[in-house]
Amino acid sequence: MVSSSDSLSRINLCQAHPALAKLLQRAYSGEKAAAFAYIGHAKSLRDPAEKAAIQEIEADEWEHRRHVLALLQQYRVPVSRGYELQFHLIGTLIAWACYVIGWFMPYYFAGRLESGNVCEYFVMMQAFHSLGIKEHDALLYEMGMKEKAHEAYFLEKIAAHPWLPIFSAVFRWDRGHSFNDVTLDQVVPVSESVRYCEHYPSSLHMRC
Ligand SMILES: [Fe+2]
Ligand SMILES: [Fe+2]
């Protein structure tokens, strides 16, 4: 006998929810770009503690990529060769840039990017729920919260930097301007977290 959860896990996501399939493909490749960028960022730093912290974040991104790959495989969504190439180039470019743009900018733009990544995983949760699938909630919650922790780490590093007000005015990210509504001092449990990011723009309009 096939249970409903078995049949749900065997659906073809490209047909059932093309936008979610696309979001997973993009997240998988985006995690590689992030990991590449952090390799360059860590190498460009002199302080051993700062270097180790960035390497830890890099390891988180590789772990996210493994988790997203498992989801792609479970729902028979192919890895996008286009995204793989595109994000490979982006990650490599950012890694090189870290050597020439000084100390502040890699921290600022990493934090800004992480801020936007948080919602991707909660939006995925909402999309899975629309298909009646809740078995990935804990994993998606964990990844979304990890991205939030990354954002908080980068913000903390540059909070007192004199350039922050200028960059904040131009690029619209700092302690008061986030691209998500997750707050680490008032976290909600997994069961309520699907309401995170409901009012933030997402990539769910994309097609597989
Ligand atoms: Fe990540
Ligand atoms: Fe991250």
Of the two residues 14 and 165, the one the predictor is more confident about is: 165
Q: Name the residues around ion ligand 2, CB cutoff 5 A.
A: 114, 147, 150
β-partners of residue 177 are: 174
Query: How far apart are the CA of 102 and the centre of ligand 2, in A?
Result: 21
| Residues 70-129 pLDDT 10s | 999 999 999 999 999 999 999 999 999 999 999 999 999 999 999 999 999 999 999 999
Give 1 Cα–ligand 2 centroid separation in angstroms.
41
Residue type, 157: K
CA distances, 77 to each of 69, 73, 139, 173 (Å):
9, 6, 18, 33
Q: Which residues on neighbouring strands pair with residue 174, listed in sequence order?
A: 177
Q: Identify the pLDDT of residue 204.
A: 60
pTM of the entire predicted model: 0.91
CA atoms within 13 A on the CB side of 186: 4
Domain segments of the chain as ranges: 9-100, 103-201
The angle, 0 to 180 degrees and rounded to 10, between the axes of the packed helices 18-44 and 104-130 is 160
Question: How far, in Å, is the centroid of ligand 1 from the Cα of 82?
Answer: 19
Please report, for residues 79, 135, 208, the alpha-carbon distance to residue 64 in angstroms, rounded to integers and kept in the order given. Answer: 15, 17, 21
- d(CA 167, CA 158) in angstroms, rounded, equals 11
CA of 145 to the centre of ligand 2 (A): 9
- Of the ligands numbered here, which is closest to the C-alpha atom of 64? 1
